[in-house]
Structure 1
Amino acid sequence: MSNRYEAIKKRLRGSIAPVITPFKANGDIDFEKQSELIEFQIENGTHAISVTGTSGEPSSLTTEERVQVMENAIKTINGRIPFAPGTGSTNHDETMYLTKKAEEMGADAAMVIVPYYNKPNQEALYDHFKTVADSVEIPIIIYNIPGRTAQNMEVGTMARLVKDCPNIVGAKESNKDFEHVNRVLLNCGRDFLLYSGIELLCYPMLAIGGAGSISATANVEPKKIAEMHNAWEEGNIKRAQDLHFELMNLNDVLFKDTNPAPVKAALGMMGMIEPVLRKPMGLPSEALQEEIRETLVEYGKLEKTASV
């Protein structure tokens, strides 16, 4: 592997925050708020930024809007921490276009999701990812999220891609099958960058040699998630374990409805954004919003008298 990829692999570790896409009340993208959210992440110790992944509602954005969100993000970050936007979609040509755009604008890596809805078989998945990876030099992070895509990239397929594509450097595994993610590292190499996309597996992933996490909860509580990774790297296992359990209630409530609806509701309560999602997505039920509000009070994010 080239020195170029070795260098970025050393930097792309820890908490990569998948920043939401903020909208104005009329549904337009609020780029000023997006910049504020990124600053919030950097100020709280987040190690890297991603946009237009699941938390960024990419399927509700036009292709040009996705480019604009990436451009605003990289301009805001200004090289302070790594940037790895989501560039995948269910459309192969769009994925190629967005991944090339990420490379052109200077992103440190691109995160490419397993295509959703159309359920390609394993050989088709291999061909899709190899074609994308071969078209660019930018490092690629495979995003495997079978709960959203209705298709799981098998370990053998991922291992073939890693062997045949030097710029495929890691994977975000939003996979509750912990045996599967263990076998990813076994077969793709212990230096493969494996990130947890399942909140309750962020700490366990570190224990098997994972590189970090890409957790939607980082939108609400970036400091503690970054601190958990820092504690692990410093060998303070007790502190990392404590933070894992401290975050559990918040992780649970933010996934009682489809991401990013609860996260956006929480950020709205915190006064950080207009809590707007584009149709067909919508805010959680009033009952769940009340539970989110109570949890934010518990975590010191809201006063007891606060309301949406």
Structure 2
Amino acid sequence: MANYEDVKQRLRGSIAPIITPFNDSGSIDFGTLKDLIDWHIESGSHGISVTGTTGEPSSLTTEERVQVMEAACKAVNGRVPFVPGSGSTNHEETIYLTKKAQEIGADAALVIVPYYNKPSQHALYKHFKKVADSVDIPIIVYNIPGRTAVNMEVKTLARLNEDCPNIIGVKESNKDFEHVNRVLLNCGRDFLLYSGIELLCYPMLAIGGAGYISATANVAPKEVAELYDVWAKGDVKRAQDLHFDLMPLNDVLFKETNPAPLKAALGMMGKINPAMRMPMALPEQPLQDEIRDCIKKYVELPAGVAK
């Protein structure tokens, strides 16, 4: 049986969920993807994730998801842990992508609760058990009921943790803070708990969380990583300050469905061509103006962008 203790020690902090950059034609901009990953690592992000919610996986073909995972893994080049999203609403596709994550050398795979079809708790157990049994790579369950329309209950997660040694943690994009407390109570305090809710990144650290996978890191990777670093050093006051300093940015980046505001912001910063694939679209001008007014308080915008 594989020992996952080493990877569990390394998978801590700010694991940045990178957007998928597109060209005007709609093709994937792999050069910009590499540049973004380099920028994140230089800025202090503790890990890199792609093809999660922020990476628009439902707008990618299965082949494109593999291509993004491969390109990102090559760009990371072992400098920090790499955790691609490999989940889907399709069971066999999830197994295929998770196996691909293992083949390319990912440190773990982030597997979302299947969306749209609203499986029962028993069905969720069977799905994740078979995915976990199909690979040796560590699995981080991704619970995001606001997107999937079903919540993985604590008892289901605890059962999977007991029966599947390679299910080592969960990303909880769950605003129910009582729920996330009970995750650690029932799965054990060495179970890796990550926040996927920006305003709960700091509170989850306080109860023993391993870190967070926060979309806001795309705009402010240094500050989001620093929040974990200062907490780990015991500087509670600085962690609290960062938590509240980032709140206006967190708020504006989620005024519409992620990653539309995020891509608009990165376009203003000159980091990407802010293109999205339909049916997603960039925010209309009033929100773009609000985003620009907010982010210029955090980053220096190119001449002509900041008004």
Give the shorter-chain TM-score range.
over 0.9
Q: Does the Cα contact within 8 Å between 1:120 and 1:151 map onto a contact in 2?
A: yes
What does residue 117 of structure 2 align with?
118
Query: 1:92-113 CA distances to partner (integer Å, 9 max, x unpaired)?
Result: 0000000000001110000000
* Structure 2 gap ranges (5+): none
1:197 Cα shift?
Answer: 0.2
Q: In structure 2, the residue corresponding to 1:258 is in which secondary structure?
A: coil
Alpha-carbon distance in 2 for matches of 1:269, 1:204: 30
Query: 1:234-284 CA distances to partner (integer Å, 9 max, x unpaired)?
Result: 001111110000100000000000000000000000011110010000001
Query: 1:196-238 CA distances to partner (integer Å, 9 max, x unpaired)?
Result: 0000000000000000000000000000010010000000111
Q: In structure 2, the residue corresponding to 1:209 is in which secondary structure?
A: coil
Please list, as runs of the form range in 1=range in 2, the aligned pairs for 1:116-155 lying within 5 A after superposition.
Answer: 116-155=115-154
TM-score, scaled to structure 2: 0.98
Q: Does the Cα contact within 8 Å between 1:84 and 1:107 map onto a contact in 2?
A: yes
What does residue 273 of structure 1 align with?
272
Q: In structure 2, the residue corresponding to 1:170 is in which secondary structure?
A: strand
1:301 Cα shift?
Answer: 3.2
Please list, as runs of the form range in 1=range in 2, the aligned pairs for 1:93-104 lying within 5 A after superposition.
Answer: 93-104=92-103
Alpha-carbon distance in 1 for matches of 2:300, 2:142: 30
Q: Does the Cα contact within 8 Å between 2:118 and 2:148 map onto a contact in 1?
A: yes
Q: State the aligned residue count.
A: 307
Q: In structure 1, the residue corresponding to 2:66 is in which secondary structure?
A: helix
Q: In structure 1, the residue corresponding to 2:110 is in which secondary structure?
A: strand
What does residue 28 of structure 1 align with?
27
Alpha-carbon distance in 2 for matches of 1:183, 1:142: 16
1:305 Cα shift?
Answer: 4.8
Q: Does the Cα contact within 8 Å between 2:253 and 2:262 map onto a contact in 1?
A: yes
Q: In structure 2, the residue corresponding to 1:176 is in which secondary structure?
A: coil
Alpha-carbon distance in 2 for matches of 1:226, 1:161: 30
Q: In structure 1, the residue corresponding to 2:293 is in which secondary structure?
A: helix
TM-score, scaled to structure 1: 0.98
Alpha-carbon distance in 1 for matches of 2:165, 2:103: 19
What does residue 19 of structure 1 align with?
18
Q: Does the Cα contact within 8 Å between 2:296 and 2:306 map onto a contact in 1?
A: no
Alpha-carbon distance in 1 for matches of 2:155, 2:162: 11
Q: Does the Cα contact within 8 Å between 1:297 and 1:303 map onto a contact in 2?
A: no
Please list, as runs of the form range in 1=range in 2, the aligned pairs for 1:213-228 lying within 5 A after superposition.
Answer: 213-228=212-227
Alpha-carbon distance in 2 for matches of 1:182, 1:100: 31
Alpha-carbon distance in 1 for matches of 2:134, 2:226: 36
What does residue 90 of structure 1 align with?
89
What does residue 302 of structure 1 align with?
301
Q: Does the Cα contact within 8 Å between 2:121 and 2:152 map onto a contact in 1?
A: yes
Please list, as runs of the form range in 1=range in 2, the aligned pairs for 1:220-299 lying within 5 A after superposition.
Answer: 220-299=219-298
* Structure 1 gap ranges (5+): none
1:121 Cα shift?
Answer: 0.3
What does residue 109 of structure 1 align with?
108
Query: 1:145-180 CA distances to partner (integer Å, 9 max, x unpaired)?
Result: 000000000000000000000000000000000000
Alpha-carbon distance in 1 for matches of 2:301, 2:36: 18
1:306 Cα shift?
Answer: 1.6
Alpha-carbon distance in 1 for matches of 2:224, 2:257: 21
The alignment-based identity, stated in percent, is 72
Q: Does the Cα contact within 8 Å between 2:23 and 2:273 map onto a contact in 1?
A: yes
Q: Does the Cα contact within 8 Å between 2:268 and 2:302 map onto a contact in 1?
A: no
